[in-house]
């Protein structure tokens, strides 16, 4: 038995070099095909952002136009509707940053309470948090809209920011993170030294779990930046809308055609390109943290 | 604890207030308050609203379960659910199959530039779905879409991505583009957790890569696969952004009840049928929870042998 396997592996080893290289090239080619598919829309977006509106219609989509019009498109974009584009970008940055910071701090505090304290209702409350992870996000949008309309918070940015600060999955992640990463003896030693609970949290816990907080902040930042349904239904005034809602409104306007709608095409394309740059930069810089958050649920 | 002599000698801000007994409630307070205000209260209020009916003449009056009975027989609601079931049957296996293939190849296969592929496949996930739909909308476009241009250049009939028959595939393509990389990363992380001596042992035994994938990797990946299928069922039944924006291109194909969320949105914002919109949201939530639950039951019964 052992003899035959030995011969088999020996044979395989002898055959290897050439065949291995060929399979390596084939696999790389296969993956490259999908990479082309992944990049194609982005390449199209970049090329189109350099074209005049006329060139969009008359030149090939995956080629350059007759003029390099990117700078003109950018200035048209910034001038359109009294510079509303920068206002939308600012709103997106504001809402996403506030949601990211709030979610990270609140989830860490709550995760710390679950991880290191015993209190009445702990199990029930944590079960509720886990249950909330399973609530379909969009099933909450209409109810939130109805309640905001009742409480006079409709068309108020807080109606988008505050719900985005709730991260049940963040509480779960931070609980696990703190259970594993913060030593009970360290906390007790600080208590012996007379440090108050809030000081312990600020000076010890927050410092030890900073990487976990970055993950939670990122998930909420990106989730809020990409969110469309909630701000669409909550925010009526253009001046409050984030970039996703604003661009989509222009897009719908342009598609309806009619008076000057088509002039919007190159502005929308340039705006789409500018709007994804911040998320892509954040994504590339903080890749490690991002993937950590996505995979936390899978490994458990 | 904070009453100890040490604490008395050195005053600590909040020290007296946040005793060890009270501390957990203090730490939980911000999260729990938001949780009550923006998850519990909306659900309770929406449920209350769903028990009333708004009429133009008589105003609002109590209707009990009437809205729910109406949803269970509402052809528009179930038509939307059916659209998404068809969508999911086509799209989810393709998306997850590709993600699984790429994760396995990038984990153990011999490939050049692995890091670049991992990053490149994941990048579309960073693009907001609104922007993805706008870009694909232009690519599909009948006026200056590049596929139409190419067809015309070769004197072929231009492909109609926006026709009633093709729309579901056009939407499926957008969602696949967005999420293959995301699912791949989840599988990849689960594969990284497989001890490498297992792979070495299998190699020494002369196991083929195919056998290794089927007998060792797939069973170990099973929890991650289950998770991604449940995520996908959830995401599919909640589909809104992509069809909502594609309506601007193909208003005849995508009506206001093409997906259940589109339906709830138009009920709440255009028809002001708040109570009924809330009932639709609740029933959608129940359908999603039910689908995930049924799927988990089936999957656990048919778990592959290890």
For B18, other C-beta atoms within 10 Å of its C-beta total 22
What per-residue confidence (pLDDT) applies to A300?
34
Helix, strand, or coil here: A182? coil
Nearest to B240 among A122, A229, A252 (CB): A229
Residue A31 near chain B (CB below 8 Å): yes
What per-residue confidence (pLDDT) applies to A293?
62
CB within 8 Å of chain B, chain A residues 36-65: 37-42, 44-45, 48, 56-57, 60-62
User: Which residue, B27, B31, B32, B26, is CA-closest to A103?
Assistant: B31
Cβ contacts below 8 Å, chain A against chain B, sum to: 299
Q: Is the CATH number 1.10.3720.10 carried by domain B70-301?
A: yes
Nearest to A163 among B38, B177, B245 (CB): B38
User: Which residue, B155, B170, B154, B169, is CA-closest to B249?
Assistant: B170
Q: Which pLDDT tens digit goes with each residue over A20-45? A: 788 888 889 989 999 999 999 999 99
**DSSP per residue, chain B:** -TTSHHHHHS--TTTTTS-TTTHHHHHHHHHHHHHIIIIIHHHHHHHHHHTEEEETTTEEEE-TTHHHHHHHT-HHHHHHHHHHHHHHHHHHHHHHHHHHHHHHHHHHS--S-HHHHHHHHHGGGGS-HHHHHHHHHHHH-TTT-HHHHHHHHTTPPPP-TTSTTTHHHHHHHHHHHHHHHHHHHHHHHHHHTS-HHHHHHHHHTT--HHHHIIIIIHHHHHHHHHHHHHHHHHHHHT--HHHHHHTTT-TTTS-TTSSHHHHHHHHHHTS--HHHHHHHHHHHHHHHHHHHHHHHHHHHHTPPP-
| Distance of residue B258 Cα from the nearest chain A Cα, in angstroms | 16
CA distance A266 to A277: 17
Query: Which residues neighbour A288 within 8 Å (Cβ) at sequence distance 6 or greater?
Result: none
Predicted confidence pLDDT, tens digits, chain B (306 residues): 444 444 444 445 544 455 788 899 999 999 999 999 999 999 999 899 889 887 666 677 888 888 899 999 999 999 999 999 999 999 999 999 999 999 988 887 778 888 889 889 989 988 999 999 999 999 998 877 888 888 888 888 888 898 888 999 999 999 999 999 989 988 988 888 777 777 778 777 777 777 887 788 888 888 889 989 998 999 999 999 999 999 988 888 899 999 999 999 999 888 778 889 999 999 999 999 899 889 888 887 766 554
Nearest to B12 among A42, A195, A298 (CB): A195
Q: Which of A199-203, A239-243, B16-20 has the highest mean pLDDT?
A: A239-243
Domain extents for chain B? 23-64, 70-301
CA distance A120 to A116: 13
What per-residue confidence (pLDDT) applies to A291?
63
Q: Which two tokens stand for residue A105?
A: 């701090």
Q: How far is CA B209 from the centre of its chain?
A: 32
CA distance A226 to A279: 9
| Distance of residue A70 Cα from the nearest chain B Cα, in angstroms | 17
Residue with tokens 């949601």: A99
Pairwise CB contact (< 8 Å): A300 & B223: yes
CA distance B27 to B17: 13
Interface test with B, best of A9, A53, A146, A276 (most B CBs within 10 A): A146
What per-residue confidence (pLDDT) applies to B18?
55
User: DSSP secondary-structure letter at A165?
Assistant: T
Residue with tokens 């019009």: A69
| Distance of residue B242 Cα from the nearest chain A Cα, in angstroms | 10
Query: Residues B71, B257: contact at Cβ < 8 Å?
Result: no
Angle, CA of B150, A251 and A50, to the nearest 5°: 55
What per-residue confidence (pLDDT) applies to B57?
67
Nearest to B28 among A27, A105, A110 (CB): A110
What per-residue confidence (pLDDT) applies to B279?
93
Residue B198 near chain A (CB below 8 Å): no
What per-residue confidence (pLDDT) applies to A36?
95
Nearest to B126 among A8, A45, A279 (CB): A279
Q: Torsion angle, CA of B136/B142/B145/B147, rounded to 10 degrees?
A: 100
User: Which residue, A211, A272, A209, is CA-closest to A243?
Assistant: A272
Residue B99 near chain A (CB below 8 Å): no
Confidence (pTM): 0.86
What per-residue confidence (pLDDT) applies to A166?
95
Pairwise CB contact (< 8 Å): A9 & B206: yes
Least confident range from A141-150, A182-191, B149-158, B212-221: namely: B212-221
Which of residues A177 and A300 earns the better pLDDT score? A177
Q: Which pLDDT tens digit goes with each residue over A208-239? A: 998 889 989 988 998 899 999 999 999 999 99
CA distance A185 to A204: 12
Helix, strand, or coil here: A209? coil
Residue A183 burial class via C-beta count within 10 angstroms: exposed 0-12, middle 13-18, buried 19 and up: exposed
Q: Which residues of A touch B206 (CB under 8 A)?
A: 5, 8-9, 12
First CA to last CA distance, chain A: 40
Nearest C-alpha in A relative to B184: A295
Nearest to B39 among A30, A34, A132 (CB): A132
Residue A126 near chain B (CB below 8 Å): no
Percent of chain A with pLDDT over 70: 89
Query: Residues B23, A117: contact at Cβ < 8 Å?
Result: yes
What per-residue confidence (pLDDT) applies to B86?
93
Query: Which residues neighbour A58 within 8 Å (Cβ) at sequence distance 6 or greater?
Result: none
Least confident range from A51-55, A99-103, A233-237, B12-16: namely: B12-16
Q: Which two tokens stand for residue B120?
A: 């490149």
What per-residue confidence (pLDDT) applies to A2?
41
Q: Which residues of A touch B127 (CB under 8 A)?
A: 42, 276, 279-280
The ipTM is 0.85
Query: Residues A139, A198: contact at Cβ < 8 Å?
Result: no
Q: Torsion angle, CA of A190/A194/A198/A202, rounded to 10 degrees?
A: -40
Least confident range from A6-10, A78-82, B257-261: namely: A6-10
What per-residue confidence (pLDDT) applies to A295?
57
Q: Which residues of B touch A199 (CB under 8 A)?
A: 12-15
Pairwise CB contact (< 8 Å): B284 & A199: no
Confidence of residue A201 (pLDDT cuts 50, 70, 90): very high
Query: Residues B47, B68: contact at Cβ < 8 Å?
Result: no
Residue A275 near chain B (CB below 8 Å): yes
What per-residue confidence (pLDDT) applies to B178?
95
User: Which residue, B160, B170, B168, B163, is CA-closest to B80?
Assistant: B168
Pairwise CB contact (< 8 Å): B46 & A143: yes
Residue B102 near chain A (CB below 8 Å): yes
Q: How far is CA B44 from the centre of its chain?
A: 24
Query: Residues B213, B104: contact at Cβ < 8 Å?
Result: yes
CA distance A80 to A264: 9
Q: How far is CA B61 from the centre of its chain?
A: 36
Nearest to A31 among B9, B102, B127 (CB): B102
Continuous H helices in chain A:
2-49, 53-58, 70-116, 122-133, 141-151, 158-164, 168-181, 184-192, 197-200, 206-208, 210-226, 229-234, 243-255, 264-285, 287-299
What per-residue confidence (pLDDT) applies to B306?
45
């Amino acid at each position: 038995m052992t003899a035959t396997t030995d011969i088999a592996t020996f044979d395989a080893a002898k055959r290897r070099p050439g065949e291995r290289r060929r399979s390596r090239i084939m696999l790389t080619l296969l993956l490259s095909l999908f990479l082309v598919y992944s990049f194609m829309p982005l390449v199209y977006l970049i090329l189109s952002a350099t074209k005049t509106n006329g060139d969009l219609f008359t030149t090939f989509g995956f080629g350059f136009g007759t003029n390099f019009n990117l700078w003109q498109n950018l200035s048209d974009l910034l001038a359109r509707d009294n510079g509303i584009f920068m206002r939308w970008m600012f709103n997106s940055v504001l809402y996403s940053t506030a949601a990211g910071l709030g979610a990270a701090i609140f989830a860490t505090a709550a995760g710390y309470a679950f991880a290191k304290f015993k209190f009445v209702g702990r199990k029930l409350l944590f079960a509720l948090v886990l249950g909330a992870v399973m609530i379909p996000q969009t099933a909450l949008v209409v109810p939130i809209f109805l309640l905001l309309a009742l409480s006079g918070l409709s068309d108020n940015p807080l109606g988008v920011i505050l719900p985005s600060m709730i991260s049940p999955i963040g509480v779960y992640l931070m609980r696990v993170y703190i259970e594993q990463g913060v030593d009970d003896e360290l906390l007790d030693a600080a208590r012996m030294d007379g440090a108050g609970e809030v000081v312990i949290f600020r000076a010890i816990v927050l410092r030890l779990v900073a990487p976990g907080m970055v993950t939670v902040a990122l998930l909420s930042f990106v989730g809020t930046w990409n969110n469309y349904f909630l701000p669409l239904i909550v925010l009526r005034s253009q001046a409050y809308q984030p970039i996703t809602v604003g661009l989509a409104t222009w897009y719908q306007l342009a598609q309806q055609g009619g008076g000057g709608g088509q002039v919007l095409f190159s502005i929308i394309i340039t705006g789409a390109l500018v709007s994804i740059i911040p998320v892509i930069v954040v994504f590339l810089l903080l890749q490690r943290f991002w993937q950590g958050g996505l995979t936390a649920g899978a490994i458990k | 604890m904070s009453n100890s002599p040490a604490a008395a000698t050195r005053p600590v801000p909040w020290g007296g207030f946040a005793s060890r007994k009270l501390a957990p409630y203090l730490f939980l307070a911000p999260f729990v308050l938001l949780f009550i205000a923006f998850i519990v209260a909306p659900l309770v209020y929406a449920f209350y609203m769903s028990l009333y009916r708004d009429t133009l003449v008589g105003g609002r009056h109590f209707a009990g379960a009437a809205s729910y009975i109406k949803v269970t027989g509402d052809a528009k609601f179930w038509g939307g659910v059916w659209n998404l079931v068809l969508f999911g049957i086509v799209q989810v296996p393709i998306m997850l199959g590709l993600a699984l293939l790429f994760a396995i190849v990038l984990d153990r296969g011999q490939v050049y530039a692995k890091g670049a592929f991992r990053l490149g496949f994941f990048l579309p996930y960073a693009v907001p779905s609104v922007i993805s739909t706008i870009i694909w909308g232009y690519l599909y476009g009948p006026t200056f879409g590049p596929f139409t241009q190419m067809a015309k250049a070769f004197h072929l009939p231009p492909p109609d991505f926006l026709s009633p028959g093709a729309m579901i595939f056009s939407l499926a393509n957008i969602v696949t583009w967005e999420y293959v990389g995301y699912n791949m990363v989840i599988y990849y992380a689960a594969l990284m957790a497989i001890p490498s001596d297992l792979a070495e042992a299998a190699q020494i035994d002369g196991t083929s890569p195919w056998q290794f994938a089927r007998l060792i990797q797939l069973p170990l990946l099973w929890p991650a696969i289950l998770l991604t299928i449940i995520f996908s069922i959830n995401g599919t039944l909640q589909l809104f952004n992509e069809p909502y924006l594609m309506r601007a291109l193909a208003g005849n194909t995508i009506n206001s009840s093409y997906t259940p969320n589109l339906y709830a949105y138009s009920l709440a914002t255009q028809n002001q049928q708040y109570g009924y919109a809330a009932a639709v949201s609740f029933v959608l939530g129940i359908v999603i929870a039910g689908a995930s639950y049924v799927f988990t039951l089936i999957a656990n019964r048919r778990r592959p042998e290890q």
